[in-house]
Chains A and B, each alone.
Chain A
């Protein structure tokens, strides 16, 4: 063929083909990615995995410091890590990315009449909003995540009070849906497809919300009556029976699904805090070996020592207590693979709500006279302690460290002052709160939230290297809200107070 003629005809053919197409309906359909999903369960593993892995990762960093479990130079200055440009990922505002999939999951379940799955969607959504609003206070809720459905790209903020009531309604509704649904929850990587366990999670979360707002004066609901209704009727409102039921994600050894800090965490940056050290040692609690490594100086010897570091002192690593050799690093189950060869990708779990926490909430409710039904406070309290010890031991079995870690409580542990359930109401409440603090280790910001509400463990001191004058009471909104949702952001600041770390949220006023 004459080559010039050939090129000419190809060019002509291209000219005409580029001009028009009859495939308008399909040309924009990506052959590699669906634009339509029929089976809502395809969303559930993403929802659980993405939210819990992120939550678990953050639990170690900012959260462990502000909860005063661990000390860390970078975080406890409350400066760079706590500013608006960092707060999107570090304080879980990025749950909104997961909530996009939750909306798809929830709406599809609702359309199809899949009650169980709709209930699961409500529980996951409520958990994420609870975590976020406790950190930030007022925030977009009723107008949030409506970009696709309603074209709302600058959502208005709701008052935290209204968010709380709405979440409790959602959880109540989820409990009802999950009690009557018959549809399978197939892709459930958190609760093994058990609607009952999701019900337990929903009711436990509602108790958490109720307890957290229990100091609010002029609440629009009767906190005591709501809590009593749950405690009185376990068949309608089941709660976790043991740690085997609780909401904790088991990580995998597969690449990308491990315990999130397993690959990322820098070794030696986080230390046992003096606060946690003091409270554990006061009770001769052997779980100090669960919460922290022996000091490098005594690691591998017959006499392992556990030494904490106070938060908020500038040059922790170089100077405090003779230096890093005398400072305990983070828990053996949290060790990154770069730290010690025994580190495990599956020993730690992604803890959302524990059986022990629910028991301690019931104990406190009972002790304060909020709850008028159910067991007595001491029963809840002891069950909480025992279940937490069992859970902690079970994770050490998974870890299988090459050195013995025995954390079992002796009978004397329970009868000693500080644990034995005796004394005034205030003393008893203090005991419940100390034990609850231990149980909330590694559960996001919950330990900090409980400190904000109760002041236990003791008033945490702000260190000389801190950028603020008191321990934080909330976190800042992310920068994207200031720049991309400016009007609503400004209204929220007007309503709630300065957007800083010291403004108190509604339930903490």
Chain B
């Protein structure tokens, strides 16, 4: 073996594991209600539990390789895996007309295939003690529905308050987002543009169409750490690539004229005319000869000249309402998740004390976010009856930025 290689390891693993349900998923309970004038009362849970629940069983095959080079200056760890989960225990949403909002079921088979890569490197290590470490990780996972339990053709999770839904369909990737979208010009020079109807509004498909997947294509993280004597500086960047979501906030705030984006068109009109004049959406208007003509005819951001116009309410609100495609947001982002600066106090300061080390650090989290939308953090999820669901943003609170100072003393 070459002396440049410190370590070379190959891994092969196969494992099968059972996974049981959380407690209290077997019997459907009755919740106590607040006393009405002192009278006690109960209500049955809207989630129907399952007396015949079976444990989940998942089998994983994994292959991996690890290599360390140049006396630990460079390390690489690559893992590929394939997991099949059978009888996954989950809460299946059911139509309210069944009397229950959801039922606990064993749901067929779901496969996960993916790859994880970790790279560690020390590009710089000087004799004066200066070191630069870099750690990169990368992960890609594709989760597919192999089969569902008999009688269940798909699992649908509705967006709270909006028309979109996440659907798990046999043979498809998990996390498929569906919802109504634009009806588009089928051919000709304006092909692909939204069709503007005779009421001046964009036409919306009557049924749901596939809009994308809520899950990222890949995720990665990069940590850089610089240390010199007792001082160190560390940055962690996280990134997600791909994935879409619908935003209720963008819909509602645009409709109410609260976003800066909605001021543009209005500012082009005199205040007294803001509510009286027509606004024109870009798109194609069907002509008597079955061709399409461009609706918007000036392009200075004023939306004030075109073929078929609408009032401001239709222009902003109805353009977003009940059109999931228009509410769609790219979930890709780069985030400065954490930055840290620390200092290990020199031993001589506490040499006479029974202390092993003391260090102080300043930490900031969520310091910067780079993403395509100006309004919110795409990592936000919406709370539904059965937990937090990614892919829907529902007027959620913004992510918080935090700063902290640590003093750590080890005895």
Are B275 and A315 within 8 A (Cβ)?
A: yes
Instruction: Indicate which residue in B96, B161, B311, B322 contacts A96 across the interface (CB closer than 8 Å).
Output: B96
Are A46 and B43 within 8 A (Cβ)?
A: yes
A417 within 8 A of B: no
B406 within 8 A of A: no
Are A85 and B163 within 8 A (Cβ)?
A: yes
Which B19-35 residues sit within 8 Å CB-CB of chain A?
Answer: 23-34
Against B, the Cβ 8 Å flags (1 = close, 0 = not) of A318-330 are 1000000000000
Are A100 and B44 within 8 A (Cβ)?
A: yes
Query: Given the complex, which residues of A lie within 8 Å of B97, measured CB to CB?
Result: 93, 96, 139-140, 144-145, 155, 481, 485
A45 within 8 A of B: yes
Contact flag A28-B23 (CB < 8 Å), given A35-B29, A49-B36: yes
Are A97 and B96 within 8 A (Cβ)?
A: yes
Are B311 and A480 within 8 A (Cβ)?
A: no
Contact flag A147-B31 (CB < 8 Å), given A27-B23, A79-B321, A479-B163: no
Instruction: Provide the bound-state CA to CA distance between A36 and B25, in Å.
Output: 15
Against A, the Cβ 8 Å flags (1 = close, 0 = not) of B88-103 are 0000011111111101
CB closest residue in chain A, given B36: A45
Are B33 and A46 within 8 A (Cβ)?
A: yes
Are B322 and A314 within 8 A (Cβ)?
A: no
Query: Given the complex, which residues of B lie within 8 Å of A111, measured CB to CB?
Result: none
Contact flag A480-B95 (CB < 8 Å), given A85-B161, A100-B100, A252-B36: yes
Against A, the Cβ 8 Å flags (1 = close, 0 = not) of B259-277 are 0000000000000000100
Contact flag A101-B43 (CB < 8 Å), given A148-B99, A314-B311, A480-B96: yes
A-B contact count (CB 8 A): 158
Instruction: Provide the bound-state CA to CA distance between A465 and B199, in Å.
Output: 11
Are B39 and A189 within 8 A (Cβ)?
A: yes
Are B98 and A33 within 8 A (Cβ)?
A: no
Query: Given the complex, which residues of A lie within 8 Å of B23, measured CB to CB?
Result: 27-28, 30
A365 within 8 A of B: no
Are A43 and B43 within 8 A (Cβ)?
A: yes
B46 within 8 A of A: yes
Are B42 and A96 within 8 A (Cβ)?
A: no
A484 within 8 A of B: yes
Query: Given the complex, which residues of B lie within 8 Å of A481, measured CB to CB?
Result: 95, 97
**Closest CB of chain B to A98's CB: distance in Å?**
9
Instruction: Provide the bound-state CA to CA distance between A282 and B30, in Å.
Output: 53
Query: Given the complex, which residues of B lie within 8 Å of A479, measured CB to CB?
Result: 158, 163, 165
A84 within 8 A of B: yes
B162 within 8 A of A: yes
**Closest CB of chain A to B18's CB: distance in Å?**
12
Are B158 and A480 within 8 A (Cβ)?
A: yes
Are A147 and B317 within 8 A (Cβ)?
A: no
CB closest residue in chain A, given B29: A33
Against B, the Cβ 8 Å flags (1 = close, 0 = not) of A84-108 are 1110100001101101110110000
Are B28 and A88 within 8 A (Cβ)?
A: no
Instruction: Provide the bound-state CA to CA distance between A45 and B103, in Å.
Output: 25
Are B39 and A154 within 8 A (Cβ)?
A: no
Instruction: Indicate which residue in B42, B48, B275 contacts A318 across the interface (CB closer than 8 Å).
Output: B275
Number of residues on chain B facing chain A (CB within 8 A): 49
Instruction: Provide the bound-state CA to CA distance between A380 and B103, in Å.
Output: 50
Against B, the Cβ 8 Å flags (1 = close, 0 = not) of A59-95 are 0000000000000000000011001111010000110
Instruction: Indicate which residue in A30, A33, A80 contacts B322 across the interface (CB closer than 8 Å).
Output: A80
CB closest residue in chain B, given A498: B206
Which A429-450 residues sit within 8 Å CB-CB of chain B?
Answer: none
Instruction: Provide the bound-state CA to CA distance between A80 and B48, in Å.
Output: 32
CB closest residue in chain A, given B167: A483
Are B163 and A33 within 8 A (Cβ)?
A: no
Query: Given the complex, which residues of B lie within 8 Å of A33, measured CB to CB?
Result: 24, 29-32, 45
Instruction: Indicate which residue in B25, B93, B161 contacts A484 across the interface (CB closer than 8 Å).
Output: B93
Contact flag A147-B103 (CB < 8 Å), given A49-B41, A485-B97: yes
Instruction: Provide the bound-state CA to CA distance between A147 and B317, in Å.
Output: 38
CB closest residue in chain A, given B43: A46
Are A97 and B33 within 8 A (Cβ)?
A: no
Instruction: Provide the bound-state CA to CA distance between A104 and B43, in Å.
Output: 9
Which A119-151 residues sit within 8 Å CB-CB of chain B?
Answer: 139-140, 144-148
Instruction: Provide the bound-state CA to CA distance between A4 and B336, in Å.
Output: 41
A216 within 8 A of B: no
Query: Given the complex, which residues of A lie within 8 Å of B161, measured CB to CB?
Result: 85-86
Against B, the Cβ 8 Å flags (1 = close, 0 = not) of A463-478 are 0010100000000001
Instruction: Indicate which residue in A30, A104, A189 contacts B37 across the interface (CB closer than 8 Å).
Output: A189
Instruction: Indicate which residue in B46, B95, B167 contacts A153 across the interface (CB closer than 8 Å).
Output: B95
Instruction: Indicate which residue in A36, A86, A152, A189 contacts B36 across the interface (CB closer than 8 Å).
Output: A189
Query: Given the complex, which residues of A lie within 8 Å of B100, measured CB to CB?
Result: 100, 147-148, 153
CB closest residue in chain A, given B105: A153
A225 within 8 A of B: no
B313 within 8 A of A: yes
Are B275 and A96 within 8 A (Cβ)?
A: no
Query: Given the complex, which residues of B lie within 8 Å of A314, measured CB to CB?
Result: 311, 313
A34 within 8 A of B: yes
Are B29 and A30 within 8 A (Cβ)?
A: yes
A44 within 8 A of B: yes
Contact flag A483-B165 (CB < 8 Å), given A44-B41, A45-B36: yes
Query: Given the complex, which residues of A lie within 8 Å of B33, measured CB to CB?
Result: 45-46, 49
- 8 A–B pairs (Cβ distance < 8 Å), ordered by A: A29-B24, A29-B27, A30-B23, A43-B41, A85-B159, A96-B96, A148-B48, A152-B98
Ranked 7 nearest A-B pairs via Cβ: A145-B99, A33-B29, A45-B41, A147-B98, A35-B27, A28-B26, A96-B96
New contact pairs (16) apart from A80-B322, A187-B41, A485-B97, CB-CB < 8 Å: A34-B42, A36-B30, A43-B43, A50-B43, A80-B317, A80-B321, A85-B322, A93-B97, A96-B97, A140-B97, A147-B99, A148-B100, A154-B95, A315-B275, A481-B97, A483-B208
Residues of B whose CB lies within 8 Å of any CB of A are 23-34, 36-37, 39-46, 48, 93-101, 103, 156, 158-159, 161-163, 165, 167, 208, 275, 311, 313, 317-318, 321-322
